[in-house]
């Protein structure tokens, strides 16, 4: 893993983007440049040079693919450039053109060639029951035999060969919905899975059901260019998960004055009586907002705490105060 370091001076000159602007992009302040603006053509070419030996492999287990959809909705029309040219995404079951044995062989070849250097993104929980058979990711052909690769196999094999792992979405980070009460598949998070198998590769958790696209792109770029960002006790980057929703909510004055919203369509008041979990939740949704900055959960509903380790059981029922 690379140490924290300055973007090289010549790179700053070449791109016209200072380190200050680069870091500002991660904070999501209204005055800062947006994450997608980091990918101006000059910065793209500088990052390409730095990242050509750092491919990313993305695997999917037990989730709804919402994490990928959230990412793909983000920075159109430059998302293809971000994923393929900047981030060097070499394997992604939803968006890659290749399939079957060819795709699987390519994935494992890259993992061997860049052992200890590539980053693995895990989306979805890992179903460990029934010998992993609840989630078969692909097949490989060997000497006339067909070998099934389960999510358990791929997380174990690729996870131990990777230089770093990003657990994208609450399912991968903490188990999420698949690991909620019932959990017949034995769904588990990346960190718990690694503990079980003694895998020591560092893990960054990027929760959210789904996670904000800026959290994904920003964390991947930070990891690849400047190393692992500072993490909190739940393994999340402080850059995105360091602030309390309630303390920063535009409705907190109403809360202090005891003015509660009468219904979800009430434009005024605090949503606590309607089930808002903001006081127990740490994320920057209140300022980053969603849907290209259009709105966020508390505008039209409540915060259900989708980024927290106890989600969803610990936050249920969503319509009642804690």
Query: Which residues lie near ligand FSX (CB under 6 A)?
Result: 63-67, 123-124, 169-171, 176-177, 209-210
Q: Residue 203 binds which entry of ligand FSX, ligand SF4, none, with Cβ cut-offs from 5 to 8 Å by kind?
A: none
Residue 11 in tokens: 């790179």
Residue 315 binding ligand SF4, by CB under 6 A? no
Residue 251 binding ligand SF4, by CB under 6 A? yes
Per the annotation, the verdict on 270 as an active-site residue is yes
Q: Nearest approach, Cβ of 211 to ligand SF4 (angstroms)?
A: 8
Residue 177 binding ligand SF4, by CB under 6 A? no
CA 250, CA 262: separation in Å to the nearest integer? 17
Q: How many residues does the chain have?
A: 322
In the chain, the N- to C-terminal Cα span, in Å, equals: 41
CA 221, CA 56: separation in Å to the nearest integer? 11
DSSP secondary structure string for all residues of 196-214: HHT----EEEE--SSPPHH
Q: Residue 246 binds which entry of ligand FSX, ligand SF4, none, with Cβ cut-offs from 5 to 8 Å by kind?
A: ligand SF4
Active-site choice (54, 92, 171, 212)? 171
When CB distances to ligand FSX are compared, the closest residue is: 63
CA 285, CA 248: separation in Å to the nearest integer? 10
Q: Can you tell me which of 218, 270, 309, 312 binds ligand SF4, judged by CB under 6 A?
A: 270
Per the annotation, the verdict on 137 as an active-site residue is no
CA 224, CA 47: separation in Å to the nearest integer? 9
Residue 283 binding ligand SF4, by CB under 6 A? yes
Q: Nearest approach, Cβ of 290 to ligand FSX (angstroms)?
A: 13
Per the annotation, the verdict on 276 as an active-site residue is yes
How far apart, in Å, are the Cα atoms of 211 and each of 154, 292, 319?
22, 14, 22
Per the annotation, the verdict on 297 as an active-site residue is yes
Q: Are 239 and 287 in contact (CB under 8 A)?
A: no
CA 38, CA 144: separation in Å to the nearest integer? 47
Per the annotation, the verdict on 303 as an active-site residue is yes
Q: Can you tell me which of 126, 151, 203, 272 binds ligand SF4, judged by CB under 6 A?
A: 272
Active-site choice (92, 107, 209, 212)? 209
Burial of 155 (0-12, 13-18, 19+ CB in 10 A): buried
Per the annotation, the verdict on 107 as an active-site residue is no
Per the annotation, the verdict on 171 as an active-site residue is yes
Nearer to ligand SF4, 22 or 123 (CB): 123
Q: Are 37 and 74 in contact (CB under 8 A)?
A: no
Residue 281 binding ligand SF4, by CB under 6 A? yes
Active-site choice (107, 135, 137, 270)? 270
Residue 193 binding ligand SF4, by CB under 6 A? no
Q: Are 11 and 2 in contact (CB under 8 A)?
A: no
Q: Are 162 and 53 in contact (CB under 8 A)?
A: no
Residue 303 binding ligand SF4, by CB under 6 A? yes
Q: Which residues are catalytic?
A: 64, 67, 171, 209, 246, 249, 270, 276, 285, 297, 303, 306
> What is the binding site for ligand SF4 (CB under 6 A)?
208, 245-246, 249, 251-252, 255, 270-272, 276, 278-279, 281, 283, 285, 296-298, 303-307
């Amino acid at each position: 893993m690379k140490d924290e370091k300055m973007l090289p001076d010549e790179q700053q000159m070449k791109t016209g983007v200072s380190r200050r602007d680069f870091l500002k992009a991660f904070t999501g302040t209204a005055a800062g440049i947006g994450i997608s603006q980091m990918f101006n053509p000059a910065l793209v070419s500088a990052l390409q040079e730095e990242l050509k030996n750092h491919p990313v492999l993305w695997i999917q287990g037990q989730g709804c693919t919402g994490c990928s959809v959230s990412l793909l909705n983000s920075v159109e029309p430059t998302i293809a450039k971000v994923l393929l040219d900047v981030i060097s995404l070499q394997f992604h079951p939803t968006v890659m053109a290749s399939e079957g044995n060819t795709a699987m062989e390519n994935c494992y070849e890259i993992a061997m060639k860049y052992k200890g250097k590539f980053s693995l993104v895990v989306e979805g929980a890992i179903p460990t029951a029934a010998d992993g058979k609840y989630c078969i990711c692909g097949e490989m052909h060997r000497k006339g035999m067909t070998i099934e690769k389960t999510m358990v196999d791929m997380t174990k094999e690729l996870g131990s060969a990777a230089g770093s792992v990003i657990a994208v979405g609450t399912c991968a980070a903490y188990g999420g919905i698949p690991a909620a009460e019932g959990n017949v598949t034995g769904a588990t998070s990346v960190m718990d899975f690694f503990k079980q198998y003694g895998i020591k590769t560092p893990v960054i958790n990027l929760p959210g059901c789904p996670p904000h696209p800026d959290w994904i792109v920003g964390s991947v770029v930070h990891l690849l260019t400047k190393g692992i960002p500072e993490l909190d006790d739940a393994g999340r980057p402080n850059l995105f998960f360091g602030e309390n929703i309630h303390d920063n909510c535009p409705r907190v004055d109403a809360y202090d004055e005891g003015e509660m919203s009468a219904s979800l369509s009430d434009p005024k008041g605090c949503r606590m009586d309607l089930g808002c979990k903001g006081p127990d939740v740490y994320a920057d949704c209140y300022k980053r907002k969603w849907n290209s900055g259009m709105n966020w959960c508390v505008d039209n509903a409540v915060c259900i705490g989708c980024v927290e380790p106890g989600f969803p059981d610990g936050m249920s029922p969503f319509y009642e105060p804690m």
